[in-house]
Structure 1
Amino acid sequence: MALYAAAAAVLAGVESRQGSLRGLVYGSNFQNVKQLYALVCETQRYSTVLDAVIASAGLLRAEKKLRPHLAKVLVYELLLGRGFKGRGGRWKPLLDRHQARLKAELARLKVRRGVSQNEDLLEGGSKPGPASQVPRFVRVNTLKTCSEDAVDYFKRQGFSYQGRASSLEDVRALKGKCFLLDSLLPELLVFPARTDLHEHPLYQAGHLILQDKASCLPAMLLAPPPGSHVIDACAAPGNKTSHLAALLKNQGKIFAFDLDARRLASTATLLARAGVSCCELAEQDFLEVSPSDQRYRQVQYILLDPSCSGSGMLTRQLEEPGTGVPNQERLRALAAFQQRALSHALTFPALRRLVYSTCSLYQEENEDVVRAALQQSPAAFRLAPVLPSWPHRGLGTFPGAEHCLRASPETTLTGGFFTAVLERVEVPSSVSQAEASAPEVTPNPAPKRKRRRRKATAAPSSQPGM
């Protein structure tokens, strides 16, 4: 019941202009913010449909104590969502009393508008675009399990495993309870869009991380070998941090920084659930971290994913379709911070490889930031050529920008994203020549299906909390 009350409070706050949908969700203190965000976004998307059904059914006239925003959330869950499935508290029997009438009014609305699918009821501007067709990517947490066991578990739950994807068309064709292994990342499973796994026991036990494919690129391309010392400069909410720990096999050290205490606390919860033991969290501005501090003398890898406009985020695109260029003053301020952070990161003396990434679509936060940093140290670092087959490259604003990677729902079936890999040209004197050979980044082959399953990967007998 807490979920529905929280969603109703967010909807009320949005309509009274108390804040943005995203800001109100993250400020709600609700434990599972992703679940809350998804519910509010979808309820808001169908708002006019729900208003029509509720009015036609006379729900608020019959139930005087039911507030309009809560009614909208509950009716969405009943008619268009997942159903209550054992949840709903005292509201479930109330909705059960009106279920037949509400379903009948929804059916009449479809007849009047001459449509057969729920989504056809949406107005033109609200119909699903490319962002809503992006599949659900699920990274298998190799600190706790392996891809083969996760695949086997889903098969036992009635999902149909389609093997390794060979093209984007394979991914686009996913429907129902079918899923694939990603063509690039051997630990990434791909499910149809809107597959909800937030309450899946493997997710709640930390065996699975719900993470967009584009968001998996930074850690994969940084490729720190086990035993390395790594800085995650702006770590919250922690998905990339947990990915780094998995690549390190919990061997080595991750220094993770973030200035937002609340987000850092959420990161700590995520890392604990994922079984990460090699990470040291610090509530600190990365710009104030001294490169000369002896604690970081062995740091050879840095992941920098700084605050950005978030213009490529799927939730932002679904919540605010057609949003134009953001406030230019804010964009300049963000780009200035990003440039300072990247230039600062490049001053760590033992640094060999750095990944700069954003979930922004704007050149000012992406290519322009990278170009400025390279111009400040033209002989020390270069853009590394990575993933030559990746279909969406950086904007050609300077020589070498084609080595950067971009992502979008239209071209890669992912969220909007930007990634650049910078590697040192000259080996620092503190690092031996043998250590200085940067790892070649190539995807691992698909796992063999007949490997013996590890006992540790069995599904938990209960569903631990988030």
Structure 2
Amino acid sequence: MSLYNRAAEILEKLERKEGSVKNLVYSSRDQNIKQLYALVCETLKYSSVLESIITSTNLLKEEKKLKMNLAKVLVYDLLFGKGLKCGGVWKVIIMRHKSRLKSSLAMMKVKQKVSRNEDLLCSEPQAFEDLTLPRYVRVNTLRTNMDDVMDSFRRDGYTYLGKASSLEDLRHLSGKQFICDLHVPELLVFPPKTDLHSHFLYTAGHIILQDKASCLPAYLLSPPVGSHVIDACAAPGNKTSHLAAILKNKGKLYAFDLDMKRVVTMSTLLLRAGVTCHELANQDFLKTDPNNPKYRNVKHILLDPSCSGSGIVSRLNQLTDDKASSSSERLQALSGFQRKALSHALCFPTVERVVYSTCSVHTEENEDVVRDALKEHGDQFRLVNLLPEWPHRGLETFPTGSYCLRASCKTTLTNGFFVALFERKSVESKNYKRSCSEETNIKLTSPRKCTIKLKKRLKRNTVNPVKQSCNDGIDTKSPSAKSCILKLKKKKRRKQNPIVHVKKE
């Protein structure tokens, strides 16, 4: 019975605008979080239908101790779920009205000319219908490869349409079709509402059901194989597993999260994905010491901190869109934490690239945070102009704001998202020195010195015609040729090598 009571309490808190569904469910600390979350979500989905049934049967008038939210939860499980699981007085009360409740549901279907329970939802406003997104599937290269996954889907009757050339190709998928994404490698795209949760590739960890926008941070950070990387706010772990796939399970991946339950969930997900290069840390990233020798090789950090989640597109968000998620007080608190986390990430002495991302559409959590970070660390870091062909850019609230990426349902066919990439300014110089050093095979300290030394080396390598003639045994009678011979003999004596005799004409 506690499951129904907790679900009813969460519904009441949602009505009072005390938080979002996820926050309220996870803060309840129920023993079965998944079951509670599913029950709350499904009850919200059928909320108007349930209210009509309860009202038409006069259930609350006859059972005065029963409140609307508790009644909704109980009636949902009776009519739409797997049946009431609880005992006690509430089950007795609901079962007393079972026949009337079922009759009311049947009459509703007849009036609306539908045969399935799901079709009752079609009578509600379709504000969300145009927000339907494709199903994105990331191939987990730690377990398999693209060819094997595509062959498996072909055997299941799916038709492969090749690689997308534009976003329009993703809009027109239907039936059992799939296509390769045009931006993110190892990402397949299926028609909306394609359900792959029971597919063996998903249960075996060969594919990850992950929105395209959520794949961007790890893809854009792009750490080389064998790197040491920090995932600062890692749970639930999809981005962590993506980083591990990019690293090919080599190097080191430090994954932080403050919530122990989320760390346990993440551990299960990473195990299924075949990740072995990670080290989980149930601690606050802000309390880590950037100068700790443990992190002396960390050059890449992915920071995806807690945010309002205002960019996540789902019908549930439409039903539970509470102003608490976007109130100025909450945004101020979130952006304050995000500023601290980003500033802390940029303080690691060896870090070269830092990705900052959120699933928020609010400027306070996105451009404003990046702008303030550049004010504080702009002497050391710059923004990288990400994917110039990407259609949705960051807001130009500061000079390089358009270097950032934004994502949205309408423009990019993804959840709302924001990504910025910071790169240490000295990295560009280091890349130049490295290429120059490889060309001249000498140790260099700066691009200017590189150029000077390269010129000297080229000058040294220029052939002297007199010496060349001497070595070839030509015109040895000339004074210059004799001088050349003497110099060669002296040089070879110093090296204690046999003297080369030049035949005189």
Q: Same fold (TM over 0.5)?
A: yes
Name the counterpart of 2:110.
108
Instruction: Judging by fraction of residues, say which structure has more helix.
Output: 2
1:58/1:325 CA distance change after superposition, 3 Å = closer
> Retained in 1: the 8 A contact 2:233–2:256?
yes
Name the counterpart of 2:329.
329
1:216-253 CA-partner distances (Å, limit 9, x unpaired) = 00000000011000011111111101100000000010
Q: SS at the partner of 2:196?
A: coil
Name the counterpart of 1:285.
284
Q: Which amino acid aligns with 1:120?
A: C
> Retained in 1: the 8 A contact 2:57–2:101?
no
> Retained in 1: the 8 A contact 2:77–2:84?
no
Name the counterpart of 1:390.
390
Alignment of 1:451-466 (within 5 A): none
TM-score (norm 2): 0.71
Name the counterpart of 1:72.
76
1:10/1:142 CA distance change after superposition, 3 Å = farther
Which range is displaced more, 321-330 or 311-320? 321-330
> Retained in 2: the 8 A contact 1:56–1:105?
no
Q: Distance in 2 between matches of 1:134 and 1:14?
A: 28
Q: Distance in 1 between matches of 2:393 and 2:285?
A: 28
- Displacement of 1:100 in angstroms is 9.9
Q: SS at the partner of 1:426?
A: helix
Name the counterpart of 2:12.
16
Q: Distance in 2 between matches of 1:436 and 1:278?
A: 33
Name the counterpart of 1:136.
135
1:56-108 CA-partner distances (Å, limit 9, x unpaired) = 799999xxxx975243146446xxxxxx8xx9999xxx9xx999978853531
Q: Distance in 2 between matches of 1:390 and 1:158?
A: 32
Q: Distance in 2 between matches of 1:142 and 1:190?
A: 16
1:323/1:110 CA distance change after superposition, 3 Å = farther
1:162/1:28 CA distance change after superposition, 3 Å = farther
Alignment of 1:178-217 (within 5 A): 178-217=177-216
Name the counterpart of 1:342.
342
> Retained in 2: the 8 A contact 1:11–1:44?
no
Alignment of 1:118-197 (within 5 A): 118-122=120-124, 124=125, 127-131=127-131, 133-197=132-196
> Retained in 1: the 8 A contact 2:229–2:252?
yes
Q: SS at the partner of 2:229?
A: strand
- Displacement of 1:119 in angstroms is 4.3
1:145/1:256 CA distance change after superposition, 3 Å = same
Name the counterpart of 2:259.
260
Q: Distance in 1 between matches of 2:349 and 2:427?
A: 10
TM-score (norm 1): 0.77
Q: Distance in 1 between matches of 2:436 and 2:306?
A: 30
Alignment of 1:41-80 (within 5 A): 41-52=41-52, 68-73=72-77, 75-76=79-80
> Retained in 1: the 8 A contact 2:25–2:37?
yes
- Displacement of 1:214 in angstroms is 0.4
Alignment: residue pair count: 411
1:280-335 CA-partner distances (Å, limit 9, x unpaired) = 11111111111111011110100011111111122463343485872222211211
Q: Distance in 1 between matches of 2:5 and 2:406?
A: 36
Q: SS at the partner of 2:290?
A: coil
Q: Distance in 2 between matches of 1:284 and 1:16?
A: 32
Name the counterpart of 2:299.
300
Q: Which amino acid aligns with 2:288?
A: V
Name the counterpart of 1:423.
423
1:36/1:403 CA distance change after superposition, 3 Å = farther
1:150-208 CA-partner distances (Å, limit 9, x unpaired) = 22222323333333333333322233333322222231122233333333322222112
> Retained in 2: the 8 A contact 1:6–1:28?
no
> Retained in 1: the 8 A contact 2:74–2:84?
no
1:270/1:421 CA distance change after superposition, 3 Å = same
Q: Distance in 2 between matches of 1:181 and 1:74?
A: 42
Larger radius of gyration: 2
> Retained in 1: the 8 A contact 2:223–2:229?
yes
Q: SS at the partner of 1:314?
A: coil
> Retained in 2: the 8 A contact 1:51–1:72?
no
Unaligned runs of 5+ residues in structure 2 are 63-69, 87-94, 438-505
Q: SS at the partner of 2:411?
A: helix
Q: Distance in 2 between matches of 1:275 and 1:229?
A: 18
1:416/1:74 CA distance change after superposition, 3 Å = farther
- Displacement of 1:21 in angstroms is 2.4
- Displacement of 1:410 in angstroms is 1.5
Q: Which amino acid aligns with 1:401?
A: G
1:109/1:156 CA distance change after superposition, 3 Å = farther
Which range is displaced more, 347-356 or 174-183? 174-183
> Retained in 1: the 8 A contact 2:79–2:102?
no
